[in-house]
Structure 1
Amino acid sequence: MLSTTITCLDASPRTMSRATQLLTNQINKNYYFHWISVLSLGTMLIFYFLLSEMGALVEIATVLSFVTAPFTQF
């Protein structure tokens, strides 16, 4: 889970930052910082509350990946 988290925290903010730039037609370097902050905070909260329940953690990770995947395919 740790290596997956590190990989996602590297790739996801870059992708979401670029998608936000394309959708808003604005070039803003702060998008990356905002996305990495949101994803880092969300990851820490999920680990904090669900680390003892690995089944629920995997289920949430699966649902979130299917929900966000269409938005990152631009």
Structure 2
Amino acid sequence: MRAPGEQDLVAWARPFFKDRRKFTELADPLLQGHYPMQELYQALDVAAMCLHEQAATRPLIGDVATTLAHLASQTYDPNAPN
């Protein structure tokens, strides 16, 4: 349902990785900004590692799954100080 230039998720997301100020544009808009920034940065670090040009430098999928499961298990208190 995306425009032709937005159908390839990797091609669409790659430019956002060049500027940390644009990282929030990679978050699900349904979250409406209600997520911990530190965990967003960590998830995007994992995603960036998965996008390495050389397959040998990409993390193993098991490591990715473990890391993302750990991030997903973290509790988020929107009222807690950053």
TM class by shorter-chain length? 0.3 to 0.5
Whose RCO is larger (CA < 8 A, sep 6+)?
1
Please tell me whether Structure 1 or Structure 2 has the larger radius of gyration of its CA atoms: 2
Structure having the larger proportion of residues in helix: 1
